[in-house]
Structures are given as structure tokens and as C-alpha cells.
Chain A
């Protein structure tokens, strides 16, 4: 196999850590990923050798900082196949990228009765910004539903697109179901009704090859920290001709051309949307993360995760008593497996797994409406990345067995007056 996880693992200092006496098995990659040495060192190298503000100074350091920062912009454009780096805007995270579009485009262009089409599988960060803008403009929110298999209901999505749908915003890959949406098909459908399209790529850009022009969206948002990069750097990819027409998001330095006391004119793209000093060191480190992923190859990353997901789904199935959310077919999903054990609450599972060094997520994963839609209050979630291997999946399964044996230990003896008036039986299976 060309994908050498043991070599990859050596690049991640944190994976040498012991958690409660056990090898760290990090399966919370949907929340954030670990960082390879190259990324950590790039951030440190910038501060050690080239630290200066960008786009301001005439001196050598300022020129180096500016060149390095802009080079990462070009690298980012290349990574998502965007022909024009002017359409790459650095933000703080995917959430801010989505808010930028909601505030700088939607707030100025939506009228009462206009519609915003979202999906029930979206993350809070692609729900709340639109709720805010809908409240301000009088626009109406619509949500496409799911099929019983946990895929997006495309017929419902198409049915809810109409002449009043001004923007459709949807996730590329669900952070709970794992479902990979047919975003190009969805964008093409939206194009027919003149609807703008924003794709939330927070869970796709890290895990598969993404080509912005091929998707046919107007905007694409993602976060550096979910793809080996540092926290505090996000990306908004936009069509430059559309970004040109938009009002700025935040005001301040960097985003202006000329400032008078009463009014200003805006800088060119992409700086019009980058008010204030950006996370320069973080962007440099993000560049190292992109290099790392590119050297692995995004198709290879996707294949690795698909194989690992297939392995994990088989293992969970043979364990029995586990309800996996989302599609069963690994071709239709990313490396995210949210599940519920028949008898153990996700919080209890996460605590027992942590005692074995296995880090998973428990809760609603910032997708409360989706959980409500599925009739659940919470789920446990394991998610994979480039450094995970079958041993990690085996550790997860062993942890689940441990949790089951732990929670079914019979009490030594009934305590006097203890057996109450209740039906009991919780957690006995």
C-alpha cells in the first residue's frame, strides 16, 4: 500500500503522547486534526526569521512576510482548483467565511419573502448565520430533508428551489452522518433558478480532492485546523466577479484604498475582505499543511479514509448493538462515524474510551437540528484522518467492549432499602 500511516504517524509529535497510560488513539478529527512537525515548525520559523506585518512595510522583513503570505494564497487557490487567487480570502475559520457571505452579500441583497435554502444536516455554523440574516431582512428559511438512508433528499432540494430562492447553502460532507453530498448536481439545479450557492467544505476540503470551478458554486468555505493546519485560519473561496460587487464585511486597515474622515473607498480583492492584521504566522503554517496534504495526494487521502471507514463499519456491525448514523456504503460517506450503543449513553462511552486513551466525541456535534430530526439527543462519533490506521479502529472496538463490560458489572449485593419503586433495568443489557 502506498499510504504509509506508520511513516505519517512519525510526523505528528502529539501521537507519541500517552493518555492515562495508553497510546493516544485520536479519533476526533472532525472537531480538529493534529498537526505535523512541518506545520508547527513553519509557524515557529516565521516568528523566528521573518516576522513583520504584511502589505505595509518597505523593509526586508515586511517584504518577506508579504511574499510568504501571498504565496500561501496562491497555494490555496491551486489546492481547490481556483483559477484566480483574488478569489481566496483568509478568515478566522469556516464559520467566519460563511458569516462573511451572509453579512456582506445576503444582508444587502435579500428582501422580505426571499428564500434561503439550507439542509437539515447542516452544522450550526451554516444554520445560525442565515437565521440572523433572515431575521434582519425578512427572508424565509427552507430546509431540504434526508432520505431514510441518511442521504440528502435531492428531490426535496430541487422541489424547494424556486424563483424566490436567492441563495442555497449546504454542506459538502456531513460532520455527523458522513454523507457526501452531490454538490455539483445541487449547484447546477440552483443555477437554473438563478440561486447563488455556498458550499460548506469544512468536512470535505480536508478529506478529498476539491475543485471549486467543477463544483460550480459561488462560494466555498473551509477551515485550516481541520486539515492539519493551525487554528485561527479559515478560507472563503469566491467567484471574483461576485466578490467585487459585494460590500465589505469588516472595516479597518488593509481593506481600504483611501480613507477620509467621513468616508473611504475599498481596496481591491482579496484585501477588501481582510480587514486588520491577519493571522500571518497561521497562514504560513497553513501553507505547510497544504504542502503536506499535496505530497500525500488528496485522492490517496480519500482512498485511505474510505478503506478505514469500511473496516470500521464492518467491525461495528459485527460487534452488534450499535446503530450507525448515515449511509452504510463507504463510497457515499467520509471518514466520520456517528453511532449509538443500544445501552450506553454517548457521554459514558466517551469517558470509558478516554480511560483507554481513545479520544472520540460525544454530544450533538453542533448539529442539534439533525439530531432532533433523527429523534436523538446525542451520539458518539469517531472520525479518521491520515494518521489513523486499523489498530486505531481495533482500539475503538476494544474500548466499546470495555465500556460494555464495565457498565454491565452486576452489583455485588442489593443494598438495604435500595431497591426502589421504579421499574429499573436501565443499562442492564
Chain B
């Protein structure tokens, strides 16, 4: 590995991220979930399905199954792990925290970011921000009731597709 000549590469592909990519959490099917949603990133064809189960107002099980690049898979895996035991309000706060990290802004106070900290390096790769946000925007839409229209991350990060 040529760490010296590629200062940014390990910044994005941190060990924690790679671990989540290789061993994604939350892949077990949830029987009769309370919330489900599907998100797409039309730029790269990434797709994520999420399902949540709530018990006593808190997330008791999360399933994410995604088809995509390492960043979107890792982000979905981290989400599956970190959401457990959270209330809807706490989940909404986490979503805001992730978006803030991707914009390089200070997030809401008092949020334990856990493994999400590891996604910070993605910000240096603007076109990959959408990959990291896909699971979270899909979750946001699910928690807000969802809609007929599939979620996309087209409004997040820079635009533009050539040729």
C-alpha cells in the first residue's frame, strides 16, 4: 500500500469503514417490520432496502440490504448497528448529525457518533458523499412516513453527470 503517495485514500477507507464493508451488520431479515423503505443513488446505481422494528418506542431490530459501493454498504451497516435502542427522536438527531458531518458543519450537540466518526473522511471526496448519505436519507424518508416516490440522494452533494 502506498500510503505516502495517497494521503486521502485511507482517509475515506478507514479501517472501521472497511470492516463494516466486509462484514455488514443488519443483514438478517426482520419478520413483520414496522417501517420499510427503498433508496436509490441514480449516479452509481446503488440501492438500499431498510426495515425497522420498534419495541416500546425504541428500535429493536434493523435490517439493511444494499447493493452498492463500499461506502454505501459501510454506512448502512453502521446505521444498522447504531440505531438499535434509539427512539425516533434520537434517530432523527443522528440523521442530522450525519448530514452535518458530510457538509463539514458542526452537528447537533450531545450525539454519540460511534462508528459514524469513521465516515468523516468521505467529505474529502465530494462525489462519494451521496454514497454515504443514501442509507440515512432512506431512513429519514421512512421515519417521516415515506411516499410513493423512491428516495434518491440527488439533492445531496454536487450534481453532474458527464457524457
| Interchain nearest-CB distance for B69 vs A (Å) | 4
A412 touches B (CB below 8 Å) = yes
- Is B45 in contact with A364, judged by CB distance below 8 angstroms? yes
| Interchain nearest-CB distance for B85 vs A (Å) | 13
Stretch of A79-87, A261-269, A295-303, A345-353 at the chain-chain interface: A345-353
- Is B9 in contact with A355, judged by CB distance below 8 angstroms? yes
- Is B22 in contact with A428, judged by CB distance below 8 angstroms? yes
Q: Which of A365, A366, A420 counts the most B-chain CB atoms under 10 A from its CB? A: A420
A320 touches B (CB below 8 Å) = no
List chain B residues, Cβ under 8 A from A371: 45
Per-position binary interface string of chain A over residues 343-372, scored 1 when its CB falls under 8 Å from any chain B CB and 0 otherwise: 001111001100110000111111010010
| Interchain nearest-CB distance for B77 vs A (Å) | 7
Query: How many A residues touch the partner, as a band?
Result: 35 or more
* Chief secondary structure at chain A's binding surface: loop
> Once bound together, how far apart are the Cα atoms of A376 and B162, in whole Å?
19
List chain A residues, Cβ under 8 A from B70: 345, 348, 407, 427
- Is B6 in contact with A422, judged by CB distance below 8 angstroms? no
| Interchain nearest-CB distance for B101 vs A (Å) | 19
List chain B residues, Cβ under 8 A from A175: 163
Q: For B6, give its contact among A355, A361, A366, A418 (CB under 8 Å).
A: A355
With A355-B8, A420-B77 in contact, is A363–B27 under 8 Å at CB? Answer: no
| Interchain nearest-CB distance for B39 vs A (Å) | 13
Q: For B128, give its contact among A32, A351, A412, A424 (CB under 8 Å).
A: A351
What is the chain A residue whose CB lies nearest that of B5?
A: A21
Q: For B46, give its contact among A31, A352, A377, A412 (CB under 8 Å).
A: A377
| Interchain nearest-CB distance for A393 vs B (Å) | 20
B161 touches A (CB below 8 Å) = yes
With A20-B5, A22-B5 in contact, is A377–B26 under 8 Å at CB? Answer: no
A192 touches B (CB below 8 Å) = no
- Is A420 in contact with B128, judged by CB distance below 8 angstroms? no
Per-position binary interface string of chain B over residues 59-98, scored 1 when its CB falls under 8 Å from any chain A CB and 0 otherwise: 0000000011111010001001100000000000000000
- How many B residues face the partner with a CB closer than 8 A? 41
Per-position binary interface string of chain B over residues 11-30, scored 1 when its CB falls under 8 Å from any chain A CB and 0 otherwise: 01101101101111111100
Q: For B18, give its contact among A123, A356, A411 (CB under 8 Å).
A: A411
| Interchain nearest-CB distance for B46 vs A (Å) | 7
> Once bound together, how far apart are the Cα atoms of A83 and B92, in whole Å?
66
- Is A426 in contact with B6, judged by CB distance below 8 angstroms? no
- Give the residues from 402 to 429 in chain A that come closer than 8 angstroms, CB to CB, to chain B: 402, 405-407, 409, 411-412, 415, 418-428
| Interchain nearest-CB distance for B9 vs A (Å) | 5
> Once bound together, how far apart are the Cα atoms of A20 and B24, in whole Å?
31
- Is A363 in contact with B21, judged by CB distance below 8 angstroms? no
With A347-B128, A361-B163, A362-B44 in contact, is A419–B6 under 8 Å at CB? Answer: no
- Is B163 in contact with A30, judged by CB distance below 8 angstroms? yes
A316 touches B (CB below 8 Å) = no
Q: For B26, give its contact among A351, A352, A363, A422 (CB under 8 Å).
A: A422
A378 touches B (CB below 8 Å) = yes
With A22-B5, A406-B13 in contact, is A366–B47 under 8 Å at CB? Answer: no
- Is B8 in contact with A422, judged by CB distance below 8 angstroms? no
- Is B1 in contact with A421, judged by CB distance below 8 angstroms? no
| Interchain nearest-CB distance for B17 vs A (Å) | 11
10 interchain residue pairs of minimum CB distance? A377-B45, A420-B25, A422-B27, A424-B23, A31-B163, A345-B69, A347-B69, A355-B6, A378-B45, A421-B28
Q: A415-B16, A423-B27 are in contact. List 19 more A-B contacts (CB 8 A).
A: A20-B8, A347-B68, A348-B70, A351-B125, A351-B128, A355-B6, A361-B163, A363-B45, A363-B161, A366-B163, A405-B1, A406-B1, A415-B19, A420-B26, A421-B25, A422-B26, A424-B27, A426-B22, A426-B24
Residue ranges of B at the interface with A (Cβ–Cβ < 8 Å): 1-2, 5-6, 8-9, 12-13, 15-16, 18-19, 21-28, 42-47, 67-71, 73, 77, 80-81, 125, 128, 131, 161-163
12 A-B residue pairings within 8 Å (CB atoms): A20-B5, A347-B69, A347-B131, A352-B9, A355-B6, A355-B8, A363-B44, A377-B46, A406-B13, A422-B28, A422-B77, A426-B22
